[in-house]
Amino acid sequence: MKWMALKNKDEEMNLIILELRNSLASLQEQLVKEESEKKAAMDSLVKEKEARDSIERSKASLSEELDKVRAELDSANQRIESINDMYKLLQEYNSSLQIYNSKLQTDVTAAHETIKRCEKERLAAVENLHNLRGEHKSLQDQLTSSIASQDGVMKQKDALLNEVACLRMELHQIKDDRDQYQQQAQSLAVEASKYKELATNSSGLEEKCLSQGNQIQILHDQLAVAERKLQMSDTFALEKRKEFEGQKEIIEELHKCLEDAEFKLIEGEKLRKKLHNAILELKGNIRVFCRVRPQLADDSSSNHGKVFSYPTVMEYLDRSIDMTHNGQKHSFIFDKVFMPDVSQEEVFVEISQLVQSALDGYKVCIFAYGQTGSGKTYTMMGKPGQPDEKGLIPRLLEQIFQTIQALQHQGWRYEMQVSMLEIYNETIRDLLSTNRDSSRFENGVTGKQYMIKHDANGNTQVSDLTIVDVQSSREVSFLLDRAAQSRSVGRTQMNEQSSRSHFVFTMRITGVNESTEQQVQGVLNLIDLAGSERLSKSGSTGDRLKETQAINKSLSSLADVIFALAKKEDHVPFRNSKLTYLLQPCLGGDSKTLMFVNLSPEPSSAGESLCSLRFAARVNACEIGTPRRQLNIRTSNSRLSYG
């Protein structure tokens, strides 16, 4: 029993030991687990401490940033308040500008009406002057014929007076003969009684006396007829003299009317010039026109009409253009926007007033800007052999010579000189040089170097440049064809035949009014710039690459000049390129300047078109001063000036 009890206790002890061992194992496992958890907790505590430190640092930095943000918020609130005040001021200024704009519009409308009225009065005066000249000529002819007939009558009168004097002398002689014969007859009658043998002679003498008496009667009759003719000639001469005096008075009145009409015509022309230049100054002396060329057969037609759109709001009608690029819409406003369907004639009408400014003695500059293939040369020159598609340059030349012809009756006489050059790779080439070899390129350098010089009066001269005197548009057209054959062109991926240089056409106009002794000197610059293009799109290599780089550099210099003018900076970098240095008077406020920005409707050219529009918008924002009229007296120096 005891043994069994011990055995049971032993088993219980074994069970307890086993249970204790299991508990120990579990406790050891739990201890290991707790140790690992403790270690993890320690690591977590360390990390948490590090995180807390970083949070504290972040909190400090955030506090600093919060203070800065609060300070910025305060300054922003102050700026917002100042902006609100500025906005109110701008609203007031905008209202005043709108009122001033409406006033300007009213003034422009009144000026247009005055110009139209002056034009009507001028046309009426010209027509009246023409009629008066016709009447004056007819009266002069009548006066000449009257004077001629009067001279004939006076000669006839003198002849009749001479004839009457001769007849009177003959009559006096005949009377003397008659008296002598009567005395002889009486003496013969006394002696008849004494000398009957002389009866026969006495009878003969009586017959002779009778015949002489008949002759005396005939002479008396002729004398009466001559006196009647003399009286009639005196009456006719008196009537002709009265008619001559009346015609003389009429001619004097016509001369006075003619002088009044010419005076009114001159005054009307002065008023027209004044109003014309006032309108152009209101429009701004640097203006920007935008033209989108039509779709060509070679263009892709898949996205036709999706790049550009033209708002129809009355306030900006024909002045605004919208462009969509990469899903974003860009809006621009210029002085004039020409849609693709606009003809060359309609484009020319908008700029024709600038020609009159050149004839009035101002400097005028028109230049075409845009990427390759956007239609610059078409705008400036048109299509050869197609009169309906002539460009601005041929049309301007025709208008100049027509206007000069029309101004001749007002006493104006004009002399014109023309030069043409191109700027290729920052080098000037004379396109009218008779020595072609001297202007060709050899290893990138011309045989003759041309220097640009500016004088104290703001005029520009190019040394050794060929200058040609012209008297008709046909002569200038011949020179244009000759220059076109010498101009540098090349093929790129953007255009089959691309202009690789800047073309500058210059005409100097010198006018003298013989009646008023007024002298004017105007300059007309017409410029076809080379096409701007990105190197990646042009596909240029070798010489073409150098050309493209030179073109882009000169156009970039032009942009720098425009931006400096827009910002009114003290230094304007005109000398950075030959193009800007040549056109310094045109861009520096001494000229009426117009830029044509030309655009291609191709979607693939949208990026270049957007750059061109942004540049044109900066140009349109420029204020470059008021141009001066050139009234200098002509000198013996005939060197052509660009400014």
Task: Provide the annotated binding site for ATP.
Answer: 370-377
Q: Which of 637, 632, 642, 554 is nearest to 590 (CA)?
A: 642
Regarding beta strands 452-454 and 460-462, do their DSSP bridges make them parallel or antiparallel, or are they unpaired? antiparallel
Q: How far is CA 634 from CA 414, 510, 517, 521, in A?
A: 12, 8, 12, 8
Are 489 and 467 spatial neighbours (Cβ–Cβ below 8 Å)? Answer: no
Contacts of 246 (CB under 8 A, 6+ apart): none
Residues 6 or more apart from 1 whose CB is under 8 A from it? none
Beta bridge partners of 506: 419, 525
Separation CA 476–CA 470 (nearest Å): 7
Q: Which residues contact 338 (CB under 8 A, 6 or more apart)?
A: 289, 290, 291, 292, 346, 347
- Helix (H) / strand (E) containing 370: strand 363-370
Amino acid at 51: A
- 64 vs 56: CA distance, rounded Å: 12
CA end-to-end span of the chain: 143
H/E element, 37: helix 2-192
- Residues 186, 193: contact at Cβ < 8 Å? no
What is the spatial distance between Cα 78 and Cα 76, in angstroms, rounded to a whole number? 5
Which DSSP category does 297 fall into? Answer: T
Q: What DSSP character marks residue 308?
A: E
Binding site membership: which residues?
Answer: 370-377
For 590, phi then psi, to 5°, come to -105, 15
Give the SS3 label for residue 631: coil
Please report where in the chains the tokens 């005066």 appear, as a residue.
125
